[in-house]
Amino acid sequence: MNYAEIKTTDIANGEGVRVSLFVSGCRRHCKNCFNQIAWDFSYGEPFTEEVEERILEALSPDYIAGLTLLGGDPFEPENQRALLPFVKKVRERLPQKTIWCFTGYTYKDGGIEEPQANCEATRELISLLDVLVDGRFVEEFKDIRLIFRGSSNQRVIDVKRSLSSGSVVLYLT
């Protein structure tokens, strides 16, 4: 997996000050996507163990609320396979940090609705998240007043509560 960018003090992509990892690769190609350069899976730099350690170090200060995964799309199967061991590491070393993820795919029943985005890592990766912002960006539903989403069709989902209840529980409405 490649990554497009790492922001070590991001306040736009989740609650609090966060470390954000923008992965490379997205097949959704939403019209007027804010990060089209990251659609290409080969864009950016390789996501190595050294990069993982750099992110873990950036996550360690008390003022950092957690990690945000976005892209590109973290839920492209290739990206899921690379992210799952890393997210497990984050959970093991920094269990107090929250993990947010943004995807153009749609959450459903503990997995992803679109079959092309499901792989052996999907359900476990979702189970390690706190918040999932799902759904394609749709230009016609764009609303700059929305919090943590670009268009009104997207949802900000409380993953833990959704998994325990068996239905989608919104984190924010």
pTM of the full predicted structure? Answer: 0.95
Report yes or no: 168 and 162 within 8 Å, Cβ to Cβ. yes
pLDDT tens-digit readout, 80-117: 999 999 999 999 999 999 999 999 999 999 999 999 99
HSE at residue 58, side-chain half, CA atoms within 13 A, is 19
pLDDT tens-digit readout, 26-60: 998 888 888 888 999 999 999 999 999 999 999 99
Q: Who wins on pLDDT, 154 or 32? A: 154
